Amino acid sequence: MRRLLVFVSLLVTTLVAQAHDDMAGMAMGHEAPLGFDATIDTAGRLWVVDTVGQHVRARRSDDMGRSFATSTIVNPVGEPLYAEGENRPKIALGTKGELYVSWSQPRKLPWTGFVRFSRSLDGGTHFDPPKTVHTDRAEITHRFDSLAVDGKGNVIVAWIDKRDVEAAKAAGKAYLGAATYYSWSTDRGATFAPERKIIDESCECCRIALARAPDGRIDAFFRAIYGDNIRDHAFATLPVGGGSPTVERATFTQWHIEGCPHHGPGLAIDGEGTRHAVWFSAADGKATIWYGQLQPGHEPAHLASVAGAGAAHADLAVDGKHVWIAYHQVSAKGLDLMLRESTDGGSTFLEPRAIAHTDGASGWPKLVLWRHRAFVAWNPGGQFRLVPTEAL
């Protein structure tokens, strides 16, 4: 037991100590080839996007991940790719069968990047030549992209951006972290509007969670910076067309850390508009995955600790009153894929249970839904699996 506690303590200490070194988005060891994203379409076909060398790959499975019927290279002309856990490629489905893929491309200068995008209008057989989403082409950070499709079929891409950091430096002004920007396409990804800022001084390397609300709009939940490096989270609805986002603080853990923890949040919105969220904090030295129902400007409702030391990189999904939370739990024996469930809309949760194990590493878990059932997309050692959440 003592060896386990020492191991977990060292892990948490290492993650925090790496914050400064990794905040620029460099791939963290084994994570680079393991980053992926997954979704299931209305016909029950599983789509997975990952990387092979300098290529983004989109695959389709017709048997829930047991085999892949098709595999298509999204960018036939290879290019450098970010593919770590927080900065992996993303995939989203359009309202008319479109496939949309985004990723971050390293540039020549260290820790810089462009946000790239491609689409398929023929069910994944062919993809358009990739394009850069943003108009700003400075050799700076435009990375950690997130991708979503709203209720009208508009494509939304959000990312972390450092143009304002550079402007502040040039003016001799202080600026913490980075900014968060987004853009949108109203023509199925053919073109994108000039980017719009969401907020100044957000965290540098934590993924942005996007989710569709019942009214069809896309909401964003992301780590922001308050005061002197208090790294809590903000919430905003992202308008398409006119108007600017209204950003409100959404979590209040008061975690002070002068660097990025590489722990982005998760967001899922049910049919009644309840904003279910998970996030990570190590305030007061206590590593915790939190669950809560966001009430922007106020403390989240039904605030609950999901897991403690050694737990990380949670995702969640919701279907009616059923809420699922999946996360990684590190132990001396390897890596457990853990699950917490609620059947009363998040008011209470069942005890945690392990649903899979690996002795090695895996990309971050991703929950996907199909016919009121939840599955966890997982790829231990690069061997993709779709893990059922039902207890055996």
- If you write DSSP's letter for every residue of 223-272 in order, what string do you get? EB-BTTTB--EEEEEE-SSSS---EEE------B-SS--S---EEEE-TT
Token digits of residue 99: 């496939």
State the pLDDT at residue 224: 98
State the pLDDT at residue 392: 66
State the pLDDT at residue 31: 42
Residues 318-337: tens digit of each pLDDT: 999 999 999 999 988 999 99
Over 60: is that where the pLDDT of 26 sits? Answer: no
Evaluate whether 326 touches 365 at the Cβ level (below 8 Å).
Answer: yes
State the pLDDT at residue 18: 38
Tell me the mean pLDDT in the region 371-375: 97
Domain locations in the chain as residue ranges: 2-388
Query: What's the DSSP call for residue 34?
Result: T
CA angle 28, 29, 32 (to 5 degrees): 75
Residues 199-229: tens digit of each pLDDT: 999 999 999 999 999 999 999 999 999 999 9
Q: Which fold has domain 2-388?
A: Methylamine Dehydrogenase; Chain H (2.130.10)
Residues 40-84: tens digit of each pLDDT: 999 999 999 999 999 999 999 999 999 999 999 999 999 999 998
Token digits of residue 272: 């009644």
> Which residue did the predictor score with more confidence, 24 or 245?
245
Phi-psi label, residue 10: left if phi above 0, alpha if psi -120 to 50, beta otherwise: alpha
Over 60: is that where the pLDDT of 362 sits? Answer: yes
Mean pLDDT of the chain: 92
Tell me the mean pLDDT in the region 33-38: 93
Q: What is the pTM for the complete model shown?
A: 0.92
Residues 242-262: tens digit of each pLDDT: 899 999 999 999 999 999 999
Tell me the mean pLDDT in the region 188-194: 98
Tell me the mean pLDDT in the region 170-197: 98
Which pLDDT band, with edges at 50, 70 and 90, does 153 fall under?
A: very high
| 282, burial (CB in 10 Å: exposed 0-12, middle 13-18, buried 19+) | buried
Going from the C-alpha of 43 to that of each of 40, 64, 80, 97, 370, the distances in angstroms are 8, 11, 33, 10, 9
